[in-house]
């Protein structure tokens, strides 16, 4: 009798495939089809030879396939390498067979430990050693959640600007100890992962994205010991922590750059230098950066120009230099050794430039933009999204996989930021294919871009275009993600046509398939704080000054980075003491918009957010099916279902003053019955209590569902998906 702990010859695994489906190349170097025809399959082995056959990943080094029925499924994997290499290979099998996302080894070609037998394998991340073969019994994500591998998929990633969250030492700047004081609150949100913006040593000319020491904590935030305590505290709560990593550039005060200025042979090529045109009289190219400056600055020490895609105090590193790549891997290892769970890699589209240094063309719609300062005025075909940048992300993903394997670590997540409005370009950061894996979470900013539109364009049809474009272009092997805002975009509440729509957008964020990223304060509906050029002493984001009065309001980022609003019972909303001056002024909304007030209210944005986070842990929302029901200017609705449960999420996209929207969801869902009822599971805060959808547990007829302006509701349908033709 075979068991997972016993071993079996690698060639025997081919017997689980129909022999008539095999080709000589499939079994090359292991066996032959003639030999397989002579071999009798073990009676215990044959139990996995069920139902239908479907090839999975087939390459020169790997042969894999599925055997499945409507109730059971197995994935058979055979590594065909016969050389002496011990290189670990990663493959992504997710999306090849329905919604199966997990597997457990039931038979292996090598003897397994009890720990290996018990371990659940995420199909996005199947690691295979040379010459290994095994059978995986497959499960849905919702059937087999494994904290060690799946933590980044089901949970919420909560972005915190540390300086803005909680001050513990009364200097007006948030810090690590302050963050530790607020972990109870963060945990109460249902957050799985805390993402910290840069906390490295920095002159802080760009909120810490100008780093002078990658392996230490800036004193304004605390010490490495403080950070170790934070990691321990987070892990003790079964939460995770990832940190912003800024690989593209350093501060000009970094020792590497100072050494490069001195022509130190070791560091002379750590950055990108150019002699310029016309004997140095002209800039090397016409490239304009992301911070309102040309990308080249002249260095009198080197008598050359250095490249900086951001501020002139942030020189770009040269990733064509292997020594720089080695330095980055040392930095990764330093923080991983401390115990962090992953990285959010900043500005990855800027890592590599075309070495030809050609000028870049203006965009077609650049006529209203100043080409001397506006990054968006150009089509950045030379300085962004180069093949080498994708390759570097894949290389880092491989480094993390090997580190986790060698150190018996849980999965290390790689989140990447590529701020570009072309969805196909963003998708390339997932990796080239199922063998060349890249980013786990290339952040999906497309709802954020949608919110940049004029208010009359922020309706259900435009929203549908944005959501559909992402879903259609998502690689079959890609795990989706959604976000509403970040430290680089104005607050969602300040950009919606109606502030009351925030609850409906929570539903979009949290109940669609994929990982959800939330920016601190958005859970209570925090708003922007306006700044003006006349208040220069209040402004931290010096980048905004590069844009002048015309673009200032659009480009300043201080608006969305103001201190967290905890209470209206203390000075500065509880962020710092009454005697301290916050490093940024608070939003004027803090007396009526704060955590304490929303915790004590019968209903609030915060309480709905927490309610939805709990709901998304259920199977239809984690690994189940999703389908749009209707998209009009006034209405957007979709369903999530799995097994016997089906949920309907409906958002009225109108702002106040519009007529209610009446819909027949029995007809829209093609229900086989004449009537269909739904139970209210959650609803937006603006719904009146005496409304039909006013209270959880209410059962309403979906033949004529009425939603007022900006209302949103989650309904559990009182039928099964098999009764809904729309879901077939």
Which residues are paired to 679 by β-bridges? 699, 716
Positive or negative: CA dihedral 400, 402, 406, 410: positive
How many beta carbons lie within 10 A of that of residue 467, not counting itself? 21
The residue-averaged pLDDT of 89-112 equals 90
Gap between the Cα atoms of 465 and 477, Å rounded = 22
Does the pLDDT of residue 440 top 50, yes or no?
A: yes
| Region of poorest pLDDT, from 147-151, 298-302, 502-506, 595-599 | 147-151
* Tens-digit pLDDT profile for residues 171-228: 999 999 999 999 999 999 999 999 999 999 999 999 999 999 999 999 999 999 999 9
Active-site residue identified among 146, 159, 346, 541: 346
What stretch of H or E contains 356? Answer: none
pLDDT on residue 40: 84
pTM metric for this prediction = 0.96
Annotate 185-205 with three-state secondary structure.
Answer: HHHHCCEEEEEECCCEECCCC
pLDDT of residue 582: 98
Residue tagged 């986070």 (tokens): 613
Q: Which pLDDT score, from 0 to 100, does residue 47 have?
A: 87
Among the listed ranges 37-51, 208-222, 588-602, 617-631, which one has the minimum average pLDDT value?
A: 37-51
- What proportion of the chain, given as a percentage, has pLDDT over 70? 98
Predicted confidence (pLDDT) at residue 391 exceeds the cutoff of 50: yes
Structural contact between residues 316 and 350, judged by C-beta atoms closer than 8 angstroms: yes
CA-wise closest residue to 423 among 360, 486, 468, 380? 468
pLDDT at 87 (0 to 100): 82
Kindly state the greatest CA–CA separation across the chain: 87
Pairing of strands 705-707, 661-663: antiparallel
Question: Quick one: which of 657, 662, 677, 655 has its CA closest to 724?
Answer: 677
Q: pLDDT band for position 1 (50/70/90)?
A: very low
Share of the chain above pLDDT 90, in %: 86
The set of residues, in sequence order, having a beta carbon less than 8 Å from that of 37 and lying 6+ positions away, is 19
Q: Name the fold adopted by 151-249+322-611.
A: TIM Barrel (3.20.20)
Q: Decide if pLDDT at 560 tops 50.
A: yes
346 flagged as catalytic: yes
Q: Is 592 a catalytic residue?
A: no
Kindly report which listed range (3-7, 51-55, 60-64, 284-288) carries the lowest average pLDDT score.
Answer: 3-7
Which tens digit of pLDDT belongs to each residue from 467-494?
999 999 999 999 999 999 999 999 999 9
H-helix or E-strand containing 225?
A: helix 224-236
Task: Report the pLDDT averaged over residues 88-108.
Answer: 93
Has residue 84 got a pLDDT over 70?
no
User: Do the domains 10-144 and 625-727 sit in the same CATH topology, yes or no?
Assistant: yes
Give me the half-sphere count of Cα atoms (radius 13 Å) on the Cβ side of residue 281.
2
The CATH classification number of 625-727 equals 2.60.40.1180
Rg (CA), the chain: 27
Distances (CA, A) of 722 to 22, 143, 671, 680: 37, 20, 9, 21
Q: What are the backbone angles phi and psi of residue 227, rounded to the nearest 5°?
A: -70, -40
**Average pLDDT estimate for 495-513:** 97
- The pLDDT assigned to 16 comes to 94
Q: What is the mean pLDDT of the chain?
A: 95
What residue spans define the domains of the chain? 10-144, 151-249+322-611, 625-727
At residue 658 the predicted structure's pLDDT band, cuts being 50, 70 and 90, is confident
User: Please, which pLDDT band fits residue 2 given cuts at 50, 70 and 90?
Assistant: very low
Q: Which of these ranges, 77-91, 383-397, 559-573, has the smallest mean pLDDT?
A: 77-91
Distance set, CA 335 to CA 177, 254, 568 (Å): 19, 19, 37
Query: How many angstroms separate the Cα of 559 from the Cα of each of 80, 493, 562?
Result: 56, 12, 6
pLDDT tens digit sequence for 110-166: 877 766 767 889 999 999 988 899 999 999 887 778 889 999 998 899 999 999 999
The single residue of 417, 500, 522, 634 carrying the catalytic annotation is 417
The pLDDT assigned to 192 comes to: 95
Tell me: domain 10-144, CATH 2.120.10.80, correct? no
Among 225-234, 250-259, 529-538, 569-578, the range scoring the smallest mean pLDDT is 529-538
Q: How far apart are CA 435 and CA 441, in angstroms?
A: 17
Answer whether residue 370 shows pLDDT above 80: yes
Strands across the sheet with 441-442, in order?
441-442, 413-416, 342-345, 240-245, 191-196, 156-160, 515-519, 481-483
């Amino acid at each position: 009798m075979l068991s997972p702990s016993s071993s079996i010859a690698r060639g025997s695994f081919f017997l689980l495939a129909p022999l008539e489906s095999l080709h000589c190349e499939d079994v090359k170097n292991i066996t032959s089809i003639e030999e397989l025809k002579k071999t009798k399959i073990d009676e215990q082995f044959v139990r996995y030879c069920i139902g239908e056959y479907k090839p999975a990943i087939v390459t020169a080094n790997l042969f894999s396939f599925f055997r499945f029925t409507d109730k059971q499924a197995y994935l058979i994997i055979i590594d065909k390498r016969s050389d002496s290499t011990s290189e670990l290979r990663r493959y992504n099998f997710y999306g090849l067979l329905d919604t199966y996302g997990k597997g457990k080894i039931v038979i292996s070609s090598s003897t397994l430990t009890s720990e290996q037998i018990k371990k659940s394998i995420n199909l996005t991340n199947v690691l295979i050693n040379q010459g290994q073969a095994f059978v995986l019994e497959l499960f849905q994500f919702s059937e087999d959640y494994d904290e060690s591998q799946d933590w980044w998929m089901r949970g919420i990633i909560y972005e915190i600007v540390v300086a803005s969250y909680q001050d513990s030492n009364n200097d007006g700047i948030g810090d690590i100890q302050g963050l530790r004081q607020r972990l109870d609150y963060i945990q109460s949100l249902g957050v799985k992962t805390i993402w910290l913006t840069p906390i490295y040593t920095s002159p802080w000319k760009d909120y810490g994205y100008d780093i002078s020491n990658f392996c230490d904590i800036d004193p304004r935030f605390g010490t490495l010991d403080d950070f170790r305590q934070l990691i321990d505290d987070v892990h003790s709560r079964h939460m995770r922590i990832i940190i912003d990593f800024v690989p593209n550039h350093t501060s000009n005060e970094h020792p590497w750059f100072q050494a490069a200025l001195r022509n130190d042979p070791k560091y002379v090529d750590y950055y990108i230098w150019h002699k310029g045109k016309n004997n140095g009289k002209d800039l090397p190219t016409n490239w304009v950066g992301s911070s309102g400056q040309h990308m080249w600055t002249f260095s009198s020490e080197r008598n050359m120009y250095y490249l900086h895609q951001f501020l002139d105090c942030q020189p770009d590193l040269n990733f064509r230099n292997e020594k720089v790549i080695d330095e980055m891997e040392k930095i990764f290892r330093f923080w991983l050794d401390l115990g962090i769970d992953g990285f959010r890699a900043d500005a990855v589209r800027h890592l590599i430039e075309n070495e030809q240094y050609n000028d870049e063309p203006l965009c077609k719609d650049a006529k209203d933009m100043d080409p001397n300062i506006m990054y968006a005025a150009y089509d950045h075909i030379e300085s962004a999204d180069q093949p080498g940048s994708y390759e570097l992300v894949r290389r880092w993903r491989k480094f993390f996989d090997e580190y986790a394997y060698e150190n018996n670590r849980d999965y290390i997540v790689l989140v990447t930021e590529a701020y570009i409005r072309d969805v196909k370009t963003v998708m390339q950061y997932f990796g080239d294919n199922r063998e060349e894996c890249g980013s786990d979470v290339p952040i999906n900013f497309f709802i954020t871009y949608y919110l940049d539109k004029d208010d009359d364009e922020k309706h259900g049809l435009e929203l549908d275009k944005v959501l559909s474009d992402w879903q259609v272009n998502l690689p079959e092997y890609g795990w989706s993600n959604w976000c509403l805002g970040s430290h680089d975009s104005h607050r969602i509440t300040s950009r919606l046509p109606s502030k009351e729509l925030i609850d409906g957008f929570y539903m979009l964020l949290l109940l669609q398939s994929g990982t959800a990223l939330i920016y601190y304060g958005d859970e209570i509906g925090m708003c922007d704080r306006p700044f003006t050029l006349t208040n220069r002493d209040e402004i931290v984001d010096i980048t905004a000054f590069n844009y002048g009065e015309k673009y200032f309001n659009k480009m300043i980022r201080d608006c969305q980075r103001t201190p967290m609003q905890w209470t209206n019972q203390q000075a500065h909303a509880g962020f710092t003491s009454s005697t301290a001056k916050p490093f940024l002024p608070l939003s004027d909304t803090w007396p009526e918009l704060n955590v304490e007030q929303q915790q004590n209210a019968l209903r609030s944005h915060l309480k709905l957010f927490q309610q939805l986070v709990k709901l998304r842990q259920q199977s239809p929302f984690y690994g189940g099916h999703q389908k749009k029901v209707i998209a009009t200017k006034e209405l957007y609705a979709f369903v999530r279902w799995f097994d016997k449960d089906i949920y309907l999420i409906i958002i009225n996209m109108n702002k106040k003053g519009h007529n209610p929207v009446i819909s027949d969801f029995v007809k829209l869902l093609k229900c086989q019955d004449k009537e269909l009822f739904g139970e209210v599971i959650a609803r937006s805060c603006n719904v009146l209590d005496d409304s039909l959808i006013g209270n959880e547990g209410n059962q309403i007829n979906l033949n004529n569902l009425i939603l007022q302006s900006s209302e949103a509701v989650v309904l559990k349908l009182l039928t099964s998906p098999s009764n809904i033709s729309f879901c077939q």
